[in-house]
Structure 1
Amino acid sequence: MTAAQVAERVAAGQVNDVPVRSSRSIGEIIRGNLFTRINAIMGALFVIIMAVGPVQDALFGGVILANTLIGVIQEVRAKRTLDQLAIVGESRPMVRRDGVAASLTAEQIVLDDLIELGPGDKIAVDGVVAEAADLEVDESLLTGEADPVLKRPGDTVMSGSFVVAGAGAFSATRVGRDAYAARLAEEASKFTLISSELRGGINTILKFVTYAIIPAGIALIISQLTVGNDDDMAEAIRRMVAGLVPMVPEGLVLLTSVAFAVGVVRLGKKRCLVQELPAIEGLARVDVVCLDKTGTLTETAMDVSEVRLLAQDAPAEAVLGVLGTADDRPNASMQAIIDAYPAPEGWEVLDSSPFSSARRWSGAMLAEPGSAEPVPGQPGQGAGARTATWLLGAPDALLPPGHPVLTEVDEHGAAGLRVLLLVRTAATLRSVMEGLPDPAADAADALEPIALVVIEQRIRKEAPATLRYFAEQGVQAKIISGDNALSVGAVARGLGFPGAEHPVDARTLPEDPEELADIAERTSVFGRVGPQQKRALVQALQSRGHTVAMTGDGVNDVLALKDSDIGVAMGAGSPATRSVAQLVLLDNNFSVLPSVVAEGRRVIGNIERVANLFLTKTVYSVLLAIMVVIAQVPYPFLPRHLTLVGSLSIGIPAFFLALAPNAERARTGFVRRVLRFALPAGLLAAVATFAAYLYARHVYDGNLEAETSAATLTLFLVALWALAIIARPYTWWRIALVLTMGAAFAVVLVVPFAQEFFQLELVGVRAPWTSVAIAAGAGLLLEVTWAVLRRRTTKTDALIGA
């Protein structure tokens, strides 16, 4: 297409304007943080309080506004990080315009563009094939069809599929939201986000909280309007609102979003692109990680260490140089050969077939300068030329079992070396592609072993330390590679990998899912694993209850990455691999994975901590409302009191705790563990507070401000004790955090301005010290209850783990 034709289509809106998946727009972020159910409830209560005053009782509105601003700011920071990394990590199709192929973003493609294809390329839009050279496309992610489809000129290709072999070009016929994959995504029939136990647990908690708030809130409203008199209706309304506000865990959802957003920014600094936010949590829950050897444990770059001739006087090095020029998209092995052997002059490529992970070989039909007579009917031959078909690939794919050459191959493989076999045949390349010659076939068409190409792989420096980290954290590692099993086992032994002494050749694996699952459980190293077998191994491990992560960089990893719980792709991997993964390591740095695990654990562990605090507040608020209704007394607090208690014992500490380092192991049962603490803590806080309130009513006989002050003191001390339990294990800053919150409350009690602002004043000695004693008793009971519940839960978790 010409530049003028492109401009016409852009003006007509015929562009591939599918929005980037990496983040929400700023408008969506603001709406998502501002217009929430919780903000609607709190906003209505804020309007009521503003109508009756004073402004001190409307402080909770400022807290909600601050929370919303924090949420927006943190998510915008995360959005910018994601968008910047997405630009770096996105695939860039080669598009022919004005007769020149240029690398463009997917969003720059317009209708009728001619887009080039090669192995590993993701098809960004729908189209019709214009050129094809052994072009094979995998459409399994869209259609479920497992086998690659051979495409010829005139055939259609669909967005969301990817090239596994061959090369070609296609003309874009449907772009943007009209493309097949875009329509599937909108219908949510395929590309779904991974599940998040953390978010699911919080939604479950909020659902039960809603069920508890509605009846308790209605009863409290009726009660306060009944016990209040007509002369002091405003006071009754204020105390009614005070009872409703703390029932809502307003900061829980916010801090969860903030924790995820901060995690995205932190990982972004390590050049890790998080394509789905719950992936941070997901990797922390993984108990099996499947590693592709090449590009993950070893570097992508390789070196040819030796070419071992099997046939004397064969031009092996020259042929290797020519085969390199015949491959437009060389893989790592072929690139090592290209670097070692430049192409000689005088050779002609008559036909070629690029590497296919299904066949496990590439080949070309070459015209070789020589003294032999030309073969009649072969095109492109000059005088004195001779032709032959040369294949380069996995020795066990080109030779029958038991062939003597395979013994030498195994010896090299046992030393951790990759070995390719160069063979020659008089048969045409097309006939070979239809099926390798039978070993008993005519000698004229048989495959003649010419040379072994021994390639040395470079183990990543960070691989041993990363594998040790996973072992120490109780995460099983499995190496699943397409290489020779002995070679994979040797690399694994060099890394000190458990089970490396017994690698399994995947060609011997059973097809029965149960038998395969048994082998997958007890085996750590697999070689000669095909793309479908990688997927089957992942599914087998999942069938035994494992949460599985898969790392990879090649086209043969795509299916396994898509089916795994967490897919991790290397930035240098194929576009198809990066598009299906939840995490992309842009610098190909395998050692970043422990950081991702650490971020996930920080998010999970810290949100569980703060959820304990927020749910404790909800429990004691609901129970206090019920007690007030039953006793038919005024609610003991004004909104300002609970804003003060909530801010110092929950809101401010939770913000620090949610973003602190946390290396605790991720475990299932989030809701169960949170309720295990919140229910007894909330019950004890409510009972202690109400007891102190009733005692203060007896002592002060109608001095409502003094009664409220005594109850507030008890509630704060019990809440502070709960915070001290949740903050464990102690570090200097956690101890300082708890002490600072206690000191801040003490300042309010002794500074005259603060006393007047918050309407708090401790009168006399008897009631205040009784309130302290009641709080201490409740705190000690909470310690005992927590110790017993924790011991029982530890035993239960141990039994579940066993």
Structure 2
Amino acid sequence: MPTDHQLGGLTAAEVEERTAAGQINRLPARSGRSTWDIVRANVFTRVNGILLVLFGIVAATGNLTQGAFALLIVANSIIGIVQELRAKRTLDNLAVIGEAHPTVVRDGERRLVARDDVVLDDLIVVVPGDQVVVDGAVVAADYLEVDESMLTGEADPVPKEPGDPVLSGAFVVSGSGAYRAEKVGADAYAAQLTAQAAKFTLVHSELRQGINQILKYVSFLLVPVGLLTIVVQFSQPDTTWQESALRMVGALVPMVPEGLVLLTSMAFALGVIRLGRRRCLVQELPAIEGLARVSVVCADKTGTLTQNAMTLAEIIPLDGDADAAREALAQLVTADPAPNASMQAVAAAVGTTDRPWLVTARAPFTSAKKWSGATFGDGTSWVLGAPDVLAEPAVAGHADVIAASGRRVLLLARCAASVDDAAAPGPVSPVALVVLDQLTRPDAADTLAYFQDQGVRVKVISGDNAASVGAVTRSLGVDIGDPIDARTLPAAGTEELADVVDRHDVFGRVTPEQKRTMVGALQARGNAVAMTGDGVNDVLALKDADLGVAMGSGAPATRAVAQIVLLDDRFATLPYVVAEGRRVIGNIERVAKLFLTKTIYAVGLALVIGLMGLPNPFLPLQMTVVGWFTIGIPAFLLSLAPNRERARPGFVRRTLTVAVPGGLTVTAVATVTYVMTRGFGDVTDAAQHQASTATLIALIMTATWVLATVARPYYWWRIGLVAFAYAFYFLMFWIPVWHDALALDTTDPAKLMVGIVAGAVGMAVVEATWWITAAIRGERPRVWAPGAGHLTQARNASSP
């Protein structure tokens, strides 16, 4: 390949000229929406619009106190804006660190630049693992092969020669080269696809789709029930229009699940921010949901369980000539323009030579063939690679004995064929075993133990020798089974392969295509699979996994296809990532049950009371207080709490099996109380207020017990949350000063007792329903959680 000076490249003046002309690789902002878009999206919402109209009606009556629910407009907007702006800032800062930094040649020198700083006609140098960032044409190629599977679906690497086109989104699998940028920015193929990778978005989420589906059901009920409520309330005899308007608003306000969408968005945004503090870049926001559903983690050994850096431990001559082996290694190092981690370790020990042999052919290392080599001017060919791939069983067995201790072993050998021959390497003559020491990550053992404790299976899938992979996992103190040589696996797509992959947890000599196949086999068995990796051989599996996790120092191609990038390269960050996903999804499901219960009983009460032709028993302020202390405040606190349970499919069904019985129970209890204490026909204002007060007591007792069941399993702070709600309501009815503001009348003990008894019956029904529906779903209900309290829970949920 020509030198940098021979390649040329642009001058600084030419770069400035193209930049001024706008011929630069500028792409849309990583975090999607602008600040104004975020403000507008959080202020001009459907929920805010409904609440604003209802507040206008209340304001027209002159009783602004009853319009306290309008504070939700301000609260929803401010919280949504602040959290999304914080998440945007986090994503912007991390994306700058995590994005690809191509190497360009300018003024005859190589420079690392930001992806967005590439200009038209820039000369870009690539090595294995580099992603092609713009469209262009190859200028120089040294056995260059490019994988275009993400663009064309073609699985095999494509050799590239000078003059051949390359497209953005492809990545280099072997060799090296340089290409000239011909299309930049929005003109480049797949540029928009790359720009979308880190957008702040909530689409394509099972959870969001489930919530939208539920809200669609609710919307179908709101229109007819709302019209019925309006007609009935304004048809009441001897009632002012102001009172009719207030009671109409009191019926409509609780129908709106005003906090559900807000808390869902906030939980996702907080997840991004919390993970960002741990140097974890969430490139696709729905990935947080995927975290919660992970049941299997497939981890590549190198760069994940072990550190990328290796050291040369020893060279074991097999033909008695140690000096010849060291000289051949030095020549191979000198001939390799893009050494991988193994070759870098060899180079650090033997160095390069100042008398290089003439190279007539080269074969770069690839994960598929597992060897590299060079043919020199005197006709000799040298290869360096996996002993069990290159050598006879006797030599391979010797290497396996060494590898069983956790070391990495390569074979240096001569071969008769030229290394670029289709039949290469053919029969080889072993010269020496090259032994490399691998350093395990200090946090790998605790991380593997954490996953086992959490019921998440870990499968180590590596291209290294199976015995070496098994030795490394055992050295971490976690015995996850005997290693399997992937060359003995059944054919792809068979049930036999799925059985083997499901039963065993450690695999060696796995090719990139096999990694992809194994991920597919696990998914076919109903697993949610996370794949971690850092090398170009992991790209295909990362792309197909339910959740791709790349190391920050890994190849740009792996970072480009992964949903999550661990910028600090710490495998130990993964437990925190999984715990955060569980916290977000589990808590959203929990609070969704609360909000939908309120919506169901509000719709049910409006429908039943409307069909009876009775005035709505509640005023807006009463429903606002109930909404705050039974739903809003508890839901907010529950949405922030740790949650260790792995998410499962069936969100809509599980949510409705709690919300529908709970909502119907509250409806029945409140309706019976109202009819028993008020009766039909016209009544005095005092009788109306007494009946409304008794009905409010029954509703509060029953609805708050729904909170008590949703908060399970109990920790001390959750018990305190329920106790606080009941204590507040007791004081609300006990202290006379609150009675005027809330229109409460507690002067009739008989009616109050009806409400209390009905509320107690409602609590019992909610409790029984909780146990019965759990049994129907086949779940084991848990009242008490293990551990001493909130601090224990938080530590267990976020610590490996």
Backbone CA RMSD of aligned residues:
2.5
**2:287 maps to which of 263, 266, 279:** 279
How far has the Cα of 1:331 moved from its partner?
A: 1.9
How far has the Cα of 1:503 moved from its partner?
A: 1.7
Report the CA distance shift for 1:186/1:50 in structure 2 as closer, same or farther (over 3 A).
farther
Deviation track 1:607-653 (CA, whole Å, cap 9, x = no partner) reads 12111110110110011011111110111112111111101100011
**2:542 maps to which of 544, 561, 565:** 561
Structure 2 residue aligned with 1:664: 645
Instruction: Figure out how many residues of one structure are paired with residues of the other and give that number.
Output: 766
TM-score normalised by length of structure 2 = 0.91
The answer to whether the Cα contact below 8 Å between 1:264 and 1:277 also exists between their aligned partners in 2 is yes
1:436 to 2:424 alignment: yes
Structure 1 residue aligned with 2:154: 145
1:482 to 2:483 alignment: no
**2:521 maps to which of 520, 540, 545:** 540
Deviates more, 1:644-653 or 1:451-460: 451-460
Deviation track 1:711-754 (CA, whole Å, cap 9, x = no partner) reads 22222222222212222222232222223233333444455554
1:455 to 2:436 alignment: yes
1:234 to 2:242 alignment: yes
Secondary structure class of the residue paired with 2:121:
coil
**2:445 maps to which of 464, 480, 499:** 464
The answer to whether the Cα contact below 8 Å between 1:194 and 1:276 also exists between their aligned partners in 2 is no
Report the CA distance shift for 1:512/1:622 in structure 2 as closer, same or farther (over 3 A).
closer
The answer to whether the Cα contact below 8 Å between 2:463 and 2:508 also exists between their aligned partners in 1 is yes
Structure 2 residue aligned with 1:607: 588
**1:361 maps to which of 349, 352, 371:** 371
Deviation track 1:415-466 (CA, whole Å, cap 9, x = no partner) reads 22211111234654444xx331543xxxxxxx33221101121222222222
The answer to whether the Cα contact below 8 Å between 2:406 and 2:471 also exists between their aligned partners in 1 is yes
Secondary structure class of the residue paired with 1:226:
coil
Deviates more, 1:110-119 or 1:405-414: 405-414
Letter matched to residue 99 of structure 1: G
Unpaired runs of 5+ in structure 2?
1-9, 783-800
Secondary structure class of the residue paired with 2:572:
helix
Structure 1 residue aligned with 2:389: 397
CA distance in structure 2 between the partners assigned to 1:93 and 1:460 by the alignment: 28
Structure 1 residue aligned with 2:397: 407
Structure 2 residue aligned with 1:584: 565
How far has the Cα of 1:183 moved from its partner?
A: 4.9
Deviates more, 1:179-188 or 1:593-602: 179-188
Report the CA distance shift for 1:702/1:754 in structure 2 as closer, same or farther (over 3 A).
closer
1:388 to 2:380 alignment: yes
Percent identity between matched residues is 51
1:71 to 2:71 alignment: no
The answer to whether the Cα contact below 8 Å between 2:175 and 2:338 also exists between their aligned partners in 1 is no
Deviation track 1:216-261 (CA, whole Å, cap 9, x = no partner) reads 11221222222255x6122222222221121111111111111111
Deviates more, 1:140-149 or 1:688-697: 688-697
Deviates more, 1:283-292 or 1:513-522: 513-522
1:718 to 2:718 alignment: no
Report the CA distance shift for 1:183/1:345 in structure 2 as closer, same or farther (over 3 A).
closer
Report the CA distance shift for 1:797/1:698 in structure 2 as closer, same or farther (over 3 A).
closer
CA distance in structure 2 between the partners assigned to 1:112 and 1:120 by the alignment: 22
Structure 1 residue aligned with 2:188: 179
Structure 2 residue aligned with 1:573: 554
How far has the Cα of 1:184 moved from its partner?
A: 5.3
Secondary structure class of the residue paired with 1:549:
strand
CA distance in structure 1 between the partners assigned to 2:62 and 2:561 by the alignment: 55
CA distance in structure 2 between the partners assigned to 1:499 and 1:715 by the alignment: 53
CA distance in structure 2 between the partners assigned to 1:150 and 1:167 by the alignment: 11
The answer to whether the Cα contact below 8 Å between 1:304 and 1:455 also exists between their aligned partners in 2 is yes
Structure 1 residue aligned with 2:140: 131
Secondary structure class of the residue paired with 1:590:
coil
How far has the Cα of 1:51 moved from its partner?
A: 2.8
1:736 to 2:717 alignment: no
Structure 1 residue aligned with 2:499: 518
Structure 1 residue aligned with 2:177: 168
Structure 1 residue aligned with 2:359: 350
TM-score normalised by length of structure 1 = 0.91
CA distance in structure 2 between the partners assigned to 1:97 and 1:480 by the alignment: 40
CA distance in structure 2 between the partners assigned to 1:686 and 1:193 by the alignment: 34
CA distance in structure 2 between the partners assigned to 1:91 and 1:183 by the alignment: 15
CA distance in structure 1 between the partners assigned to 2:58 and 2:135 by the alignment: 58
Deviation track 1:641-683 (CA, whole Å, cap 9, x = no partner) reads 1111101100011100100112223222211111111111111
**1:619 maps to which of 593, 600, 611:** 600
The answer to whether the Cα contact below 8 Å between 1:558 and 1:576 also exists between their aligned partners in 2 is yes
Report the CA distance shift for 1:295/1:183 in structure 2 as closer, same or farther (over 3 A).
closer
Letter matched to residue 2 of structure 1: T
Structure 2 residue aligned with 1:268: 276
Matches within 5 A, 1:235-384: 235-313=243-321, 314-348=323-357, 350-351=359-360, 352-366=362-376, 378=377
Deviates more, 1:135-144 or 1:193-202: 193-202
Structure 2 residue aligned with 1:224: 233
Matches within 5 A, 1:473-512: 473-498=454-479, 500-506=481-487, 508-512=489-493
Structure 1 residue aligned with 2:664: 683
The answer to whether the Cα contact below 8 Å between 2:87 and 2:273 also exists between their aligned partners in 1 is yes
Structure 2 residue aligned with 1:371: none
How far has the Cα of 1:173 moved from its partner?
A: 1.1
CA distance in structure 2 between the partners assigned to 1:511 and 1:609 by the alignment: 41
The answer to whether the Cα contact below 8 Å between 1:463 and 1:590 also exists between their aligned partners in 2 is yes
- Deviation >6 Å, runs of 4+: 185-188, 191-194
**1:47 maps to which of 56, 62, 73:** 56
Secondary structure class of the residue paired with 2:23:
coil
Letter matched to residue 527 of structure 2: H
1:34 to 2:26 alignment: no
Letter matched to residue 392 of structure 1: L
Letter matched to residue 722 of structure 2: V
1:638 to 2:619 alignment: yes
Deviates more, 1:411-420 or 1:700-709: 700-709
The answer to whether the Cα contact below 8 Å between 1:15 and 1:111 also exists between their aligned partners in 2 is yes
Deviates more, 1:714-723 or 1:13-22: 13-22
How far has the Cα of 1:795 moved from its partner?
A: 5.0
Deviation track 1:339-368 (CA, whole Å, cap 9, x = no partner) reads 2222233234535443222332222345xx
Report the CA distance shift for 1:49/1:421 in structure 2 as closer, same or farther (over 3 A).
same
Deviates more, 1:285-294 or 1:468-477: 468-477
Deviates more, 1:457-466 or 1:772-781: 457-466
CA distance in structure 2 between the partners assigned to 1:408 and 1:192 by the alignment: 54
CA distance in structure 1 between the partners assigned to 2:201 and 2:540 by the alignment: 15
Deviates more, 1:620-629 or 1:734-743: 734-743
How far has the Cα of 1:579 moved from its partner?
A: 0.9
Structure 2 residue aligned with 1:756: 740
Letter matched to residue 279 of structure 1: A
Deviates more, 1:698-707 or 1:387-396: 698-707
Deviation track 1:1-60 (CA, whole Å, cap 9, x = no partner) reads 122222222222222121243453322322332233322322332333333342122222
Letter matched to residue 604 of structure 1: I
How far has the Cα of 1:583 moved from its partner?
A: 1.1
How far has the Cα of 1:473 moved from its partner?
A: 2.0
Report the CA distance shift for 1:392/1:192 in structure 2 as closer, same or farther (over 3 A).
farther
Structure 1 residue aligned with 2:788: none
Deviates more, 1:484-493 or 1:19-28: 19-28
Deviation track 1:772-799 (CA, whole Å, cap 9, x = no partner) reads 221111111211221222233235999x
